[in-house]
Amino acid sequence: MPVDAFALARSVGIPVCFGSIPHTDMQVIYVPRRLSYQRQQWLVAHELGHILLGRARMIDSEAGADLVALSLLLPRDPFLRDIYELGCVPERLASRHPACSHYVISRRIADLGVSSGLFAPVTVSAP
Chain residues binding Zn ion by CB under 5 A are 62, 65
Minimum distance of Zn ion from residue 29's CB (angstroms): 11
Minimum distance of Zn ion from residue 60's CB (angstroms): 9
Minimum distance of Zn ion from residue 46's CB (angstroms): 5
Give the torsion through C-alpha atoms of 28, 33, 37, 43, to 10 deg: -40
Nearer to Zn ion, 71 or 92 (CB): 71
Are 59 and 68 in contact by the 8 Å Cβ rule? The answer is no
Nearer to Zn ion, 44 or 65 (CB): 65
- Contacts for 126 with CB less than 8 Å, ≥ 6 apart: none
Minimum distance of Zn ion from residue 55's CB (angstroms): 15
Nearer to Zn ion, 29 or 65 (CB): 65
> Please, which residues bridge with residue 24 across strands?
29
- Coil/strand/helix, residue 9: helix
Nearer to Zn ion, 23 or 76 (CB): 23
Which secondary-structure segment (H or E) carries 18?
strand 16-18
